Structure 1
Amino acid sequence: MNRRIFTLLAALIPILVLGAVGSVVTVPFVALGPGPTFNTLGEVGGKPVVDVQGAEVDPTTGNLNMTTVSVRDGLNIFEAVGLWLSGEHGLVPRAEVYPPGVSRDEVDKSNKQDFKDSEDNAELAALRYLKMPTVVTLRSVSDDGPAKDALRKGDELVSVDGKPIGTVQDLLTAASETTPGTTIAVVIRRDGVEQTVEVTVGARPDDAEKGYLGITPTEAPAGTLEVDFNLSEVGGPSAGLMFTLALIDKLTPGELSGGKFVAGTGTIDPEGKVGPIGGIQYKMIAARDAGAETFLVPAANCNEARQRTPDGLRLVRVETLTSAVDSLDSIKAGKDAPTCEG
């Protein structure tokens, strides 16, 4: 009997040790997988995801869903293996998501700034696509820059050194053409009142012969139009394309989705160029599970996407905002659209 007990204990001890180690020891990996999706034409927390004020909004139905990737950190051995075996998650070294020497808070802050930039780019890309007027305003003024005593965050720029300012590029050109050390007149509109202030131009840090004002400009809608994006706890730049499409859909007659369930991903710049993103395979799974029939894929992600396409999901290749709108119009009319097959 004692020998049997000893044999049983000898067999159980390694199992108990393995179980204890597997449930306590964390692995240097994070799990990536399908994250939540949000209909950019819908609401979240009782507010429109894309809220348009000061302009007539066309009624919309259907879905234009943005997609996300979930990140699970602090995994023990059993959790990591279980997620990997699920087939819907992948394991990557933790350093790829949270680089050494960079705190998690810093990574999260950077992701949130990327998301905010994607909102600004989406708004501007939509306005340019629709040929709606914009104004140049100041997002920030450097505390130690040449304009710190003359300009404020929120000022609208009318002209710089006599040159009219209609776009951010107009401002960059006007500033760079001024001679460092000279004092110039800057016409602004502050609180609805136009006024002129003087700024002594500094030298650009990377080129001492070009002028520098120490301001960060952005473009905003002219007139009464206001756009707010009401998603929190989401980071990264990849919602840009879907935000842009939602804004265009709300400001134009008809429905881009044709009342269907369309999802997608992709960065966007103010000129409407669609850029690649990470985690395409997980975003496609999330879209399919949510009910999407069509998925908009940045052209640069097509090779990866077509190798992992979930059953029943049509992939549409997009390179620009114009190509995305044209493809949705074609699908709505029952015609073919460019795919990731060529």
Structure 2
Amino acid sequence: MNRKTLMASSVAAALAVPAAVQADVLNIDFYGSARVQVESVRPDNRDQLDTYTGVRDAYSRIGFTASYPLLQGLNLIGQLELPLDIANKAVQDPWDQDQDIRVAQIGIQGDMGTLVYGQMWLPYYNAIAYPVDMFSTYYSGFATYTAFRRGDTIGYYSPDMHGLSFAFAWSEDHGADGDNRVQLTGSYAFGDTTLSIGMDDLNGDDNMRIVGVSAAHTMGNLYLGAKVERFYSDIDDDAAYGNDGDMAMNVYAGYTLGKNTFKLMVAEVDNYGETIVHVGMDHQFNPALKLFAEYYYEQETAAITQKRGGMNETAWAASGGEVFAVGMRFDF
């Protein structure tokens, strides 16, 4: 049994309780989201990757969350979520197509916070990258240096202490060069504003570390987000990913008018996309169905890849390009 299967089985087994008590105390919520887009991709260097039009999955998933009370104020919690690559008719992440589990975690939640183990969303992404990761297509979330989710991770989230909170994560073998990865974040929320600071320590032979700050503010129908990340490492090569001093800077604005939300992000990400412009509009047709249209431009290659391809098929020599995409998201 491989590590991913063992992780998923552990969640299911740990939440299994006698049928006689399930109805009274075990709470299970099933959910899913089908997300598909039609895209027209125009790379700048068409000697390396030709223009194409096709269908791509935009991170569809299906899963469940569960909770089971252990003691007063203390709950056993778990979550299992699988990726559904609809365009490729496969159970896999559309970007990391070797990944067949999005989330598989189990933990304890109480007044002292939440402690979880497994494959999970990482604290640094939640605090630093998420405030500007608000788009609906496959091309959302690339303008950052950090990882979204990792397995073999122990994570802790503190309770809210008058607006102040912090989180910690340790991931075995998921840093640079197979080293362990450590993350630490702190956030302060006051009114409609949240400020966060975080560190993502990848270690490795080059002592790679990412430090970031973010801000999010809501003003009526207007949402504003921004983040700045900086690489600290022993790498001294202006053309190398992870070069000491490289920065990723993003500003995002979203405005909701009735059922429509208009979005704009501009980013500058050294050695991973360079100048990035992302524009979009969502239309909430009904509570379950959302329609979206987006334009994405990157100066150098970060997200653009082959038709229905992912990370392993990325044409790095395509020198960036632009994408027009329209699609739908159905939540159930």
Q: If the length of structure 1 is used for normalisation, what is the TM-score?
A: 0.21
* Higher-helix-fraction structure: 1
Question: Which of the two has higher C-alpha Rg?
Answer: 1
TM-score (norm. length: structure 2): 0.22
